[in-house]
Amino acid sequence: MFQRWRMRRRCRVLAEQCRQASLVPYIESCSGLYLDTLDNTPLISVDLELTGLDVRQNQIIAIGWTQVDKGRIRFGSNRHIMINAEHSVGHSAAIHELMDSEVAAGVGIKTGLEELFKAAIGRVWLFHHAGLDVAFLRQACLGWAGVAPPFAVMDTLHMELTRRKRRDQPVKPGELQLSALRSSYNLPRYTAHNALIDACATAELMLAIASRMDPSGSLKLQPHTRYF
C-alpha cells in the first residue's frame, strides 16, 4: 500500500517535470494503476535488444512488445521496432543476428519510446530479468524527456525464483534463463530470436508460471509486482 501511495506522489511530480508531452499520459496513468488478478490487470510484455550491458555507454537497438488482457496474449498488438543506433552495433550483431545496415534503417529512439509508452498506458510491465531493461529505458527517457518514468513491473525470472524458494528447490546455474525456463514448462522452443519473439516468449512463460502458482484461480499480481 505504501509503495502505491509513493508511486502516485512520484507521478504527480514527474508529470510536472516531464518535457515531452507524449510521455505525460503514461506517467499520469501510473498514478491510478490498480493491480488485481491476472484476469483483471492489463500487462505489456517487453524485450529490448542492446549493443551491450553498460547503460552509460550502450544503446537500445530494438524494442518488441505484446499486450496481455484478461489473461490472454493479444498477438494482434505485437510490435517490433528497430532503433537507429548512433554507433556500430559491433559485437552485438553476432548475438542479435543484426547488421549495421538494418539498425541504420530503424527509427530514432524518440519515436520508439513514444510508441512504446503509448502502448504501456495503464498497464503493468512484464520482463524476463527486468533490472537491465528497466535501467536502459529509464536512461533513454532521461535523455529524451528529462525524467525517468515510474514502472510497475512483473519479472518472470523473479516469479520463478520465488516459486522455487517457497518449495526449497535449488536453482542451478543457467536454469533461470528464458529458454531454459520455457523448456522446464514444456513450452515450444523458438529457433529465431528478436525482441518481439522474446517478448511473446516471456508472456507465454508468465502465464505458465501463474498457472502453477495459482492453479485454481487467477493469480493476484500485487505480491509479484515491483516498483521502479
Return the domain boundaries, the chain: 2-227
DSSP conformational letter for 37: B
Cβ neighbours for 86, distance < 8 A, ≥ 6 positions apart:
59
Mean pLDDT for the stretch of residues 171-199: 93
Band (10; pLDDT cuts 50, 70, 90):
confident
Higher pLDDT: 30 or 85? It is 30
The CATH architecture of the domain made up of 2-227 is 2-Layer Sandwich (3.30)
Whether pTM > 0.75 for this model: the answer is yes
5-9, 141-145, 221-225: segment of lowest average pLDDT: 5-9
| pLDDT surpassing 80 at residue 6 | no
Stated length of the chain: 228
Q: Is the dihedral of CA 52, 58, 64, 66 positive or negative?
A: positive
| pLDDT tens per residue across span 64-111 | 999 999 999 999 999 999 999 765 555 554 444 555 556 667 899 999
Residue 95 pLDDT = 47
CA atoms of 199 and 80, how far apart (whole Å): 10
Q: Look at residues 199, 219, 196 and name the one whose alpha carbon lies nearest to residue 207.
A: 219
For residues 42 and 70, is the Cβ–Cβ distance under 8 A?
no
Band (44; pLDDT cuts 50, 70, 90):
very high
Residue 103 pLDDT = 62
| pLDDT tens per residue across span 47-69 | 999 999 999 999 999 999 999 99
In order of 63, 92, 128, 144, 149, the CA distances from 73 in angstroms are: 17, 29, 16, 30, 25
Residue 9 pLDDT = 86
Give the type of residue at 180: A
Residue 93 pLDDT = 47
Residue 15 pLDDT = 95
CA atoms of 10 and 17, how far apart (whole Å): 11
Residue 192 pLDDT = 78
Maximum pairwise Cα distance, the chain: 50
Element (H, E) at 74: strand 72-82
Residue 100 pLDDT = 57
Hey, what's the cell of 184? 522446464
Element (H, E) at 27: helix 24-31
